[in-house]
Copies of this chain bind each other. A is one copy, B any other.
Amino acid sequence: MKTDNCTCNPLSIDARILEKTDPETCKKRLAELSKGLAHPARVEILRILAHNPPEKRCICGDIVGVLPLAQSSVSRHIKVLKETGWIHGEIDGPCVCYCIVDGIIEYYMELVKRSIQE
């Protein structure tokens, strides 16, 4: 079931806060986020969430239909993405509304640059 009005708070992250983050924390954060990306299924989930229009963000179970994995496996991948900080979800009736954290990709890129190049 897909609802049109998503109750998801637009949780966002600003890449500029990195300026106040010490290098050691940056490395740990980068490693953590990278673990989230370290599986093709999770990349695909992020892709789906990133492409979902903002006004229709509740696509909880639709992900299960797309991926060639059991529902429990998909749920686990979603959990990893939540724990590593890529997405967040809020309960919306019987299903859960997931969305990608706003600005997380830019934040991640900035982390890569700062942790490796600077």
A residues near B (Cβ < 8 Å) are: 27-28, 30-31, 34-40, 42-44, 46-47, 50, 105, 108-109, 112-113, 115-117
Contact = CB atoms under 8 A, between A and B. Distances in A.
11 contacts: A27-B44, A27-B47, A30-B43, A31-B38, A31-B39, A34-B34, A34-B36, A34-B38, A50-B116, A105-B112, A105-B117
Contacts of A105: 112-113, 116-117
Q: Tell me how many chains of this kind the complex includes.
A: 2
Contacts of A117: 50, 105
A3 to B, nearest CB: 24
A28 B40 contact: yes
A117 B31 CA distance: 21
A28 B38 CA distance: 9
